[in-house]
Amino acid sequence: MSWDWQVFLNDDGSGRTYLEWMIDAWGWTLAVAGSSWVVAVVMGALMGTLRTLQDSPWLVRLATAWVELFRNIPLLVQVFLWYFVVPKMFPLFQQVPGFVLVVFALGFFTSARIAEQVRAGIQALPRGQRYAALAMGFTTAQAYRYVILPMAFRIILPPLTSESMNLLKNSAVAFAVSIAELTMFAMQAQEETSRGVEVYLAVTALYMLSAFAVNRVFAYIEKRVQIPGFIVAGGTGGGH
């Protein structure tokens, strides 16, 4: 078998080259993953925090239900639910673009996993920190905002890094509802050009490059927010 990388310079039938199409698709992949990441971290932090509020059993139950619901249904099925079922059940969602529905699906799915990490991070903190904050006269909300969450997020940065890379990989599922992202491009370009190996190689390389970039960004953040002498590498959050 011989290589034919020229295939990327061919016209895809609409006046642009396959290369331009692929770069465009890469942009969609990053857009889906980036937007979902924001949804996932916000909801994950909220639900993870709620699960540690021992004085409010109903909030704990609500957050537990959230985690179990979004963790036990396959992502692809959740994408279908948001894309097909939610707009039918709630007419309000009929005007919402498909991109946003996929972002909800991927974001909420990932939020369940991040919630578990946030909870583990909060519970790994010495209890004294919470008491010290309360003794200073902080309200519970202030204690979380200024003391507990900043520390917990530093602790969970390594697993959060992996989860963010997972989210990027999981964004491939958006192909199933015709979001014009990388996997969708790979399948269509493979069909049209019959140069599957070249197309898949290029797309795989872009996924790996993107995941590596996420990894580097988090490594940089981890270095920047480190508090000297506070968190010993590998000494916290054991087993999660």
Partner 1 sequence: MLGLDLTFLSWDIISKFVLGGLWFSIKLTLIATLGGIFFGTLLALMRLSGKKALMLPATIYVNGMRSIPLVMVILWFFLLIPFLIGKPIGAEVSAIITFIAFEAAYFSEIMRAGIQSIPRGQVFAGQALGMTYGQNMRLVVLPQAFRNMLPVLLTQTIILFQDTSLVYAIGAYDLLKGFTNAGKIYGRPEEAYLLAAVVYFVMCFALSWLVKRLQAKIAIVR
Q: Does 240 bind partner 1 (CB under 8 A)?
A: no
Q: To the nearest whole angstrom, how small is the minimum distance from the Cβ of residue 83 to partner 1?
A: 9
User: Which of the residues 181 through 200 are near partner 1 (CB under 8 A)?
Assistant: 183, 186-187, 190, 196-197, 200
Does residue 170 contact residue 132 with C-beta atoms inside 8 Å? no
- Please identify, among the stretches 16-24, 84-92, 99-107, 128-136, the one whose residues bind partner 1 according to the rule CB under 8 A: 84-92
Q: Pick from 23, 42, 62, 85: which binds partner 1 (CB under 8 A)?
A: 85
Q: Which segments within the chain are labelled E, that is strand?
A: none
226 Rama sector, left if φ>0, alpha if ψ -120 to 50, beta otherwise: beta
Q: Does 69 bind partner 1 (CB under 8 A)?
A: yes
- Please identify, among the stretches 2-10, 125-133, 163-171, 229-237, the one whose residues bind partner 1 according to the rule CB under 8 A: 163-171
The residues facing 11 across adjacent strands are 17
User: Which of the residues 36 through 55 are near partner 1 (CB under 8 A)?
Assistant: none
Burial group, residue 139, by CB count within 10 angstroms (0-12, 13-18, 19+):
exposed
Q: Pick from 19, 31, 46, 77: which binds partner 1 (CB under 8 A)?
A: 77
Amino acid at 21: W
- Binding-site residue total for partner 1 (CB under 8 A)? 39
Does residue 31 contact residue 182 with C-beta atoms inside 8 Å? no
Residue 212 burial (CB count, 10 A): 11
Q: Pick from 22, 133, 203, 231: which binds partner 1 (CB under 8 A)?
A: 203
- Burial annotation 33-43 (CB, 10 A radius, 16+ → b, else e): bebbbebbbeb
Cα 66 to Cα 50: distance, rounded to the nearest angstrom: 11
Q: Which is nearer to partner 1, 89 or 225 (CB)?
A: 89
Q: Pick from 135, 204, 213, 219: which binds partner 1 (CB under 8 A)?
A: 204
Q: Which is nearer to partner 1, 66 or 175 (CB)?
A: 175
Cα 66 to Cα 72: distance, rounded to the nearest angstrom: 10
Q: To the nearest whole angstrom, how small is the minimum distance from the Cβ of residue 137 to partner 1?
A: 39
Residue 28 burial (CB count, 10 A): 18
Q: Does 26 bind partner 1 (CB under 8 A)?
A: no
Cα 92 to Cα 85: distance, rounded to the nearest angstrom: 12
Residues at the contact surface with partner 1, assessed by CB under 8 A: 1, 68-69, 71-78, 80-81, 84-85, 88-90, 165, 169-173, 175-176, 183, 186-187, 190, 196-197, 200, 203-204, 207-208, 211-212
